[in-house]
Homo-oligomer: A and B are copies of this chain.
Amino acid sequence: MNQAIRVTVWNEGLHEQELAKCREIYPNGMGRAIGAYLEKQPGIASVHCSELLDPDQGLGEEILSRTDVMIWWGHKAHDKVTDKNARRVQQRVQQGMGLIVLHSGHMSKPFMLLMGTACNLKWREYGDHGEKERLWVVDPAHPIVEGLPEYIELPNTEMYGEPFGIPQPDQLVFISWFQGGEVFRSGCCWHREAGKVFYFRPGHETFPIYHNELVLKVIYNAVKWAAPTRLAGGYTQGNVQPLENMDR
Binding site for B on A (CB under 8 A): 1-2, 42, 90-91, 94, 96, 113-118, 120-124, 126, 131-132, 134, 136-143, 145-150, 159, 161-165, 167-168, 170-172, 175-183, 185, 190-196, 229-246, 248
Are A193 and B118 interface neighbours, CB within 8 A? yes
CA distance A120 to B91 in the complex (A): 13
Select which of B121, B126, B229, B237 is within 8 A of A246 by beta carbon.
B126
* Residues from chain B with Cβ under 8 Å of A136 in the complex: 161-163, 182-183
Are B118 and A246 interface neighbours, CB within 8 A? no
Given contacts A136-B183, A165-B193, A248-B245, contact A145 B238 (CB under 8 A): no
Can you tell how many copies of this chain the complex includes?
Answer: 4
Are B229 and A124 interface neighbours, CB within 8 A? no
* Residues from chain B with Cβ under 8 Å of A121 in the complex: 237
Select which of B142, B170, B177 is within 8 A of A181 by beta carbon.
B177
CB distance from A218 to the nearest CB of B (A): 12
CA distance A118 to B90 in the complex (A): 10
Given contacts A134-B243, A139-B168, A183-B183, contact A116 B114 (CB under 8 A): yes
Are A96 and B141 interface neighbours, CB within 8 A? yes
CB distance from A112 to the nearest CB of B (A): 8
* Residues from chain B with Cβ under 8 Å of A245 in the complex: 248
Are B246 and A141 interface neighbours, CB within 8 A? no
Are B131 and A246 interface neighbours, CB within 8 A? yes
Given contacts A94-B165, A163-B138, A183-B177, contact A170 B170 (CB under 8 A): yes
CA distance A183 to B181 in the complex (A): 11
Are A192 and B167 interface neighbours, CB within 8 A? yes
Given contacts A168-B170, A179-B246, contact A241 B138 (CB under 8 A): no
Interface centre among A137, A140, A237 (most CB of B within 10 A): A140
Are B246 and A192 interface neighbours, CB within 8 A? no
Are B142 and A229 interface neighbours, CB within 8 A? yes
Interface centre among A116, A145, A196, A241 (most CB of B within 10 A): A116
Given contacts A116-B116, A183-B183, A240-B124, contact A150 B163 (CB under 8 A): yes
Are A236 and B94 interface neighbours, CB within 8 A? no
